[in-house]
Chains A and B, each alone.
Chain A
Amino acid sequence: GQQLNQSPQSMFIQEGEDVSMNCTSSSIFNTWLWYKQEPGEGPVLLIALYKAGELTSNGRLTAQFGITRKDSFLNISASIPSDVGIYFCAGQLGSGGSNYKLTFGKGTLLTVNP
C-alpha cells in the first residue's frame, strides 16, 4: 500500500519563528490534506489541496500540493504557543467509494517555546 514519509519527526522552535514540514509519497495522490492533533483529541482539518501545484493559505498556514502529486508541504509563519501539537499529512486517491480513504503520515510533533 501507499507509504507517506513525513519530516521532520519533531521540531522545537522559538515563538515567532516560521516552521516548514513536508510529506512525500511513493505513489500519486489526487488530494492532500493537513491535520493538527492535540493530546487526547481527534485530528482537526487545517487545509485541503485538490490540484497539483495548488498553493492554499489559512491564516498563518500555507500548504502546497506538489507538481508530481507525490508530495506536499505545510508552512506556519510567526509561530505562537498554541501551534503546539502533532501535524499530520494525509493523501487521498480521489472521489468516490474507497478512494475517499486517507493514508496518513506519522506526524510532525511541534513544540513552541514562548
Chain B
Amino acid sequence: EAEVAQSPRYKITEKSQAVAFWCDPISGHATLYWYRQILGQGPELLVQFQDESVVDDSQLPKDRFSAERLKGVDSTLKIQPAELGDSAMYLCASSATGELFFGEGSRLTVL
C-alpha cells in the first residue's frame, strides 16, 4: 500500500540551530501539505502545495520557516533558527481527490 514517507522520524536540536524535514508523498498526489501538531492538540496547517506552487502558507511563520517542492514531487520544510516553541510533531500529508493521507511524522525537540 502506498504511503507518505517522512524523515527523520525524530530530531533533537538546540535552539538557534537549523533543522530540515523531508517528505515524499504518495505517487501521483498533486497536493502536499505540511501540518504542525503540538502535544495534546490537533494538527494545524503550515503550508499547502499544488504541484510545485504554494496554495496556502498563511499560517507559516515566514521569518524562520520555509518550504519548497521544487519539482512538484517531494518537499522540504526548514526551520532556521529553531526556537523552543517549535517542539512539535511535523506531519506531511498528500491528496489526490481531497482525502488526506498522512505520513508517520517527524518529532522535533528543541533544547
Shortest B28–chain A CB gap in Å is 15
Q: Does chain B have a CB within 8 A of A82?
A: no
Say whether B42 contacts A42, CB under 8 Å. Answer: no
How many residues from B make CB contacts under 8 Å with A?
27
Contacts of A100 in B (CB 8 A): 31, 48, 95, 98, 100
Contacts of B25 in A (CB 8 A): none
Q: Does chain A have a CB within 8 A of B43?
A: yes
Q: State which of A4, A33, A95, A98 has its C-beta within 8 Å of the C-beta of B56.
A: A98
Query: Interface size bucket, A side?
Result: 20 to 34
Say whether B100 contacts A102, CB under 8 Å. Answer: yes
Known: A43-B43, A43-B91, A102-B45. A97 touches B102 (CB 8 A): no
Q: Does chain B have a CB within 8 A of A45?
A: yes
Say whether A42 contacts B48, CB under 8 Å. Answer: no
Say whether B55 contacts A97, CB under 8 Å. Answer: yes
Say whether B102 contacts A98, CB under 8 Å. Answer: no
Q: State which of A48, A95, A101 has its C-beta within 8 Å of the C-beta of B33.
A: A101
Instruction: List the 10 shortest-distance A-B pairs measured between CB atoms, nearest first.
Output: A104-B42, A42-B102, A98-B56, A42-B105, A42-B104, A43-B102, A98-B55, A106-B42, A101-B45, A104-B43
